[in-house]
Amino acid sequence: MSDSRGQVPTTIFVLFGATGDLAARMVLPAFYQLYSAGLLPEHWALVGNGRHAMSDDEFREHVRDAIAEHDSAPGDDAWGGFARHVRFAGDGFTADDPGRLLDVLAEVRSAVGEGAQLVHYLALPPTTFVDYTKALGAHDLARDARAVYEKPFGTSRESFEELDAAVHDVFDERQVYRIDHFLGKENTQNLHVLRFANGLFEGVWNNRHVAQVQISVPETLGIANRAQFYDATGSVLDMLVTHLFQVAAEIADEPPPTLGADDVQSARESVIAAFRPLDPGEVVLGQFDGYRDTPGVADDSTTDTFVAARLWVDTDRWRGVPFLLRTGKRLATSEQLVSLVFRPPEDGPIPQSLPDGTVLSFDLSGHGTIHLTTTVKEPGPGTKLTLGHMSLPLDSVADASPLAPYARLLHDVLDGDRSLFTRPDGLAHVWEVAAPLLDDPPTPQPYAPGSSGPAAADDLPGDAGWITMQRPPA
């Protein structure tokens, strides 16, 4: 990958929640990946912030441990070059008391240059966003800065509106980057490229040819050390109204005039406005057996750890096609699969296709793979039908240099490219779509860990069933 450091201005990253779980799992490894790929500016600094006192060296050791655990262990030479850019400013950060942050920033600015742009990354619980945003304004840290907000951007329509107002009191909209790492996945971006760059697919990307769309993200993992956050959030808020709705919009949008940021965002937000409000009767919630025994979870918790929903998109292109969304914890498999299930031919010389015939799937996990399942003649005498499978791993494409989603999105923040970030108009409508479910949720049904979730969820996709990973036979 070419070195683009000369194209990126000197930058100081301020990472709030720097010693938390999200920073360790996602954000810190992403910074190191950008550094290793030569995609950070020539002059830069990463300033961690947290409530507790910690020396620079202690924080650097924490960062190195996080990268080793969640990515790969840095070599001594590479680590030395990275670590000298890393500082820590403890003792919290509020509108009344900035802790050590202002002092550390003054020291860093003198080292990297007074004209450095500030990028604030709030790797924090969403309940703290308003207070930290107000503190950034109070201490004059918002001017010409960029601010990255983790999901969920609000946990209800009311909290979204409060947060949106607080953010726009301090920042202009073009300074704001609401991150959803599913939009940074290589194969999420291929939902556009495969469709718009290939007439074969653009011509069938509609309700005349597609019977249903599935977005299925089962997880074998539980809630680990996120119990308190998860019990206050659940699968609907953690995954459905964030990741899965955004991916559905990437599939369902109309062709934008260009792939520029404003056009891509407008196409995405326009189709979200066409999402029909969820019908709780078309939603299955679940809670895995033993969830309430998890430390940090209330004994009488009714939090959902599983959701499967039927979403309708009321546009001419997609009217009548169900978008089936599914995710959950402690399930039998872990996958991130987007599948378009195509209709069989209405007439022709072959009287009956196989029921699970043509399926185009995008595996969003890892570096991504595109799968195509088609009905073919079984080799040999006769004309017996069978299924054939074709797969294209994206990291096998010539000159591929894939980035992890967080690294890709952080790089876009550096470049000022907001095309893969959400906008408030679309998020406002998300809460309208989710409102019937949030106001009157069905009772979560129990399911066994290691299963596929509540049995009632299997009724949503009908005869097609839930599509799982299709691999060619060995």
What is the distance between the alpha carbons of residues 268 and 420, in angstroms, rounded to a whole number? 10
DSSP secondary structure letter of residue 97: -
139 is catalytic: no
Residue 288 region, left (φ>0) first, then alpha (ψ -120 to 50), else beta? beta
Cα separation of 254 and 396, whole Å? 29
Tell the burial category of 370 from Cβ atoms under 10 Å away from its Cβ (0-12, 13-18, 19+): middle
Q: Is 310 within 8 Å of 283 (Cβ atoms)?
A: yes
Return the amino acid letter for 149.
Y
For 314-346, give the DSSP string: -STTTTT-EEEEEEESSBS----EEEEEEPPPS
**At 361, is the secondary structure helix, strand, or coil?**
strand
List the binding residues. 51, 151, 181, 185, 219, 238, 329
Query: How many CB atoms lie under 10 A from the CB of residue 224?
Result: 10
Cα–Cα distance measured from residue 333 to residue 343, given in angstroms and rounded to the nearest whole number? 27
For the range 201-210, what are the long-range contacts, defined as Cβ-Cβ under 8 Å and sequence gap of 24 or more? 201/360, 202/255, 204/342, 205/317, 205/340, 206/317, 206/318, 207/317, 207/318, 207/319, 207/320, 207/321, 208/343, 209/342, 209/343, 210/321, 210/340, 210/341, 210/342, 210/343
Overall size of the chain counted in residues? 474
The per-residue b/e assignment along 159-187, b for 16 or more CB within 10 angstroms, e otherwise, is bbeebbebbeebbeeebbbbbbbbbbbbb
DSSP label at 15?
E
Catalytic: which of 62, 243, 367, 411?
Answer: 243
Q: Are 242 and 233 in contact (CB under 8 A)?
A: no
Which residues sit in the known binding site for NADP(+)?
51, 151
Burial annotation 414-451 (CB, 10 A radius, 16+ → b, else e): beeebbbbbbbebbbbbbebbebbbeebbebbebeeeb
Q: Which residue has the tokens 């699968």?
A: 235
Point out the residues that are catalytic.
Answer: 243
